[in-house]
Amino acid sequence: MSIPMLSNVMTSNPMNWLSPSIMHALGWALVHSLWQGIAVAASAAAGMSLCRRASARYVLAVGALVLMLIAPAATFLFYRSFAPAPVIAAHRSVVLTPELRSAVEAATNRSAGISSGSLSPTFLPWMVEAWLLGVALFSLRSAGGFLLLERERRKRSTVVSDRVLEICFIMQDRLGIDRAIDYCECTWLRAPAVIGWLRPVVFLPLTALSGLTEEQLQSVIVHELAHIKRFDPLVNLFQVCVETLLFYHPAVWWLNKRIRAERENCCDDIAVEVCGNAVEYARALAMMAEWRSAPALAMAANRGPLTERVLRILGLTKLRAGIRGMGITASAFCLTAALVAGDALLGMAHPQLAGANFVAHASVTPSTNPEPQSKPSAKPSASAKPSPAAAPRSEPTSSNASSYIDAMESAGLRDLTVDQLIALKTQDVTPEYVRGLQAQGLHPNAENLIAMKIQDVTPEYVKELHAEGLNPDQNQLIALRIQGVDSQYFHALKDAGLQPDVNQLIALKIQGVTGDYIKGVQAQGLHPTADQAIGMKIQGVTPEYVRDIRALGLNPSANDFIGMKVQDVTPEYIKGLQAAGLKLDVNDIISAKVQDLTPEFVEKAHQHGFKDLSLHKLIQLKQLGILESKADI
């Protein structure tokens, strides 16, 4: 086949678009990235285990991710420096046939110093093809996710209310953020989140706006604004790019998971520092634990291991010195193994560089023995003592958590789950609180204890109700406390002559029935029961309404007043009927209103000569439309 023919033929193999030297360098860069990523991740894991602050761990992890991306790029440039110039020049003008490809690969291998025992060069093109295919698929995945977020952002979001916007601006000022930030309300998210890079938007879903207290909402907003202040959206974009390019490496996914977890910890610290109430913020996180519905490309407040975050915020993190020791040992072993593997791979491609490369590695390897003889023990030796420089700083021991469990068991709460313990501690349920309720004859379980503590049902509150002759159960206590029913409110109703039971007391409070309201209607000669008072208040029967109706010569009962108010019978309506010559009782007035019998219609009947008609006849005239003119019809 002649050279002109070769120049006009393009094979279907996409690797023909790359020169052999580039393909060779790229393939070896991918191979070496395996041990390089493990070495960087192992070093980062050891470093993070020695850091106490989340911000330090975050910076270290992000730096390690940058190294993971730089290492393959540097390796590619390293191997490109060994590319034979004549072969590259020839390839730029000729499309390779299988025969010419074999000749080019042989020349490239000889120039690059690949020994006969090295990794087969024919394996590298397939590896590069698979990598390019994977990058394309992950790029489409990320692009699709970004487009979906942008569509949801534009079509299904609205501006937050003025009250919420004021809170957002106040929190933004506290953090010292001067840039313009958009705040949107949405229903397609379940937890607050930040979406966008150059101009991020804080999304506040209805679940958060309606389910969190104002103080909790402030903490969550500060958490999201902290992401913006720290430029976390841009870092998150960088993470997505690295995940796309190095999708095949488990260490990249592990490190990105750690970065996202430490990022949330950093923002948690800022939220607690600015708002100053760790317990309320922990409660907000606990409430959002079930709201896990946020896109993977968004940064949501309920992202990450919420249980660990709540424990960390509340200072209940257990001592992990042993685990850290194991982590450092495992990191050292992984680092040593990765460097040895790297030296072996480098020797396969460039035998002449192996010795110098190994000496350079040995100077930074934790162990001076390049050949690991045995796997390190999973647990550090009891006799081995870390040096003062390497010893991690001590953390609060888990004795507080253990003593809390023991104390709760002594109060009768046994076999508590981890979630129950976290929730109890979050709500500050103490053994003394449990015993106080037990002294009042209550024996609530963990869930009821949490609900009672949230609503501030105290032993003293229960004792006051018992002193008034009320004996509510646990659910009724919670409802009473939610509605703000106390002994003073009950006293006021008793002074007005009511003796409501617990359920009536709750309903009376819900409807806003006060002692003054009861006394007001009693002053007009009406003495309703508790249930009647509830119905009257629901329908808006006021003492003034009772007075005006009675002034017209009527004497309705409490139920009559409720019925009249339901049908919107006003004193003016009754006066109009009376002025038209109708002398009706309460039931007739209600019937007339139901049939829309107006004083004007009665006057029209009189004008047609129909006088002294009964209510029944007037209603029939109204229903049949006998008095309607053609214009009315």
pLDDT digits (tens, 9 = 90+) for 175-198: 998 888 888 888 777 778 888 777
The whole-number pLDDT of residue 385 equals 42
The answer to whether residue 69 is domain-embedded is: yes
- pLDDT band (50, 70, 90) for residue 633: very low
Q: What is the mean pLDDT of the chain?
A: 77
In a domain, residue 127? The reply is no
Contacts (Cβ under 8 Å, ≥6 apart) of 592:
577, 582, 584, 615, 618, 619
Q: Give the domain-ending residue among 313, 330, 351.
A: 313
pLDDT in tens, 276-295: 888 888 888 877 765 554 45
Q: Is residue 243 part of a domain?
A: no
What is the total residue count of the chain? Answer: 633
562 is a domain residue: no
> What pLDDT is stored for residue 18 in this prediction?
66
- Span 18-27, mean pLDDT? 78
Would residue 32 count as lying in a domain? yes
| Residue 332 and residue 211 in one domain | no
CATH assignment at residue 292: 3.30.2010.10
Work out the average pLDDT over 562-577.
92
- The answer to whether 35 touches 339, Cβ cutoff 8 Å, is yes
Q: Is residue 369 part of a domain?
A: no
Does 79 share its domain with 209?
no
What does the pLDDT look like over 154-177, one tens digit per residue? 766 788 888 888 899 999 999 998
Q: Supply the pLDDT for residue 301.
A: 54
Residues 291 and 186 in one domain: yes
Note whether 505 and 470 are within 8 A (CB).
Answer: yes
Tens of pLDDT, residues 68-82: 999 999 988 888 876
Handedness of CA 375, 377, 383, 384 (dihedral sign): positive
- 337-369 pLDDT tens trace: 656 665 555 555 554 443 334 333 333 333 334
pLDDT band at 329 (very low <50, low <70, confident <90, very high): low
Full-model pTM? 0.50
Of residues 120 and 598, more confidently modeled: 598
User: CA Rg, the chain, in Å?
Assistant: 39
* Per-residue tokens: 284: 């907000």
Question: Residue 567 and residue 589: Cα distance in Å, rounded?
Answer: 10
Q: Is the pLDDT of residue 84 over 60?
A: no
Query: What mean pLDDT is predicted for residues 440-459?
Result: 91
Do 199 and 333 have their domain in common? no
DSSP state at residue 17: G
Task: Say how far residue 177 (Cα) sits from the centre of its chain.
Answer: 23
In a domain, 352, yes or no: yes
Give the number of domains in the chain.
3
Whether residues 163 and 217 fall in one domain:
yes
| Domain match, 72 and 183 both | no
Cα–Cα nearest to 150, from 98, 203, 108: 203
Query: Partners of 194 in the beta sheet?
Result: 202, 299
Whether residue 623 is predicted with pLDDT greater than 70 in this model: the reply is yes
Per-residue pLDDT tens digits for 28-65: 889 889 889 998 998 888 888 888 888 999 999 999 99
Q: What pLDDT does 333 receive?
A: 61
Residues 47 and 193 occupy one common structural domain: no
Give the lowest-confidence range in 77-91, 108-122, 483-497, 528-542: 108-122
Same-domain pairing of 231 and 113: no
Asked if residue 229 lies in contact with residue 212, where contact means CB atoms within 8 angstroms, the answer is no
pLDDT cut 70: percent of the chain above it:
72
Inter-residue contact 476 to 444 (CB < 8 Å): no
Domain of residue 227: give its range. Answer: 145-238+252-313
Q: 216, 283 in Cβ contact below 8 A?
A: yes
| DSSP letters spanning 422-448 | HHHHHTT--HHHHHHHHHTT----HHH
Quick one: residue 294, left, alpha or beta (phi over 0 = left, psi -120 to 50 = alpha)? beta
List phi, psi (to 5°) of 311: -60, -40
On the question of pLDDT at 378 being above 60, the answer is no
Q: Do 29 and 7 lie in a common domain? A: yes
Same domain, 194 and 114: no
pLDDT higher than threshold 50 for residue 201: yes
Residue 373 domain-assigned (yes or no): no
Mean pLDDT of 600-613: 85
Q: How far apart are CA 504 and CA 508, in angstroms?
A: 6
Residue 436 has pLDDT above 90, yes or no: yes
pLDDT at 308: 74
Q: What is the DSSP letter of 53?
A: S
Question: Would you state the structure tokens that stand for residue 356, as one six-digit string?
Answer: 């110098």
Q: Which two tokens stand for residue 323?
A: 């685990």
For residues 233 and 173, membership in a common domain is answered with yes
Indicate whether 326 and 302 sit together in one domain.
Answer: no
Token output for 41: 């991740």
pLDDT tens-digit series, residues 106-136:
544 444 444 333 444 566 788 888 899 999 9
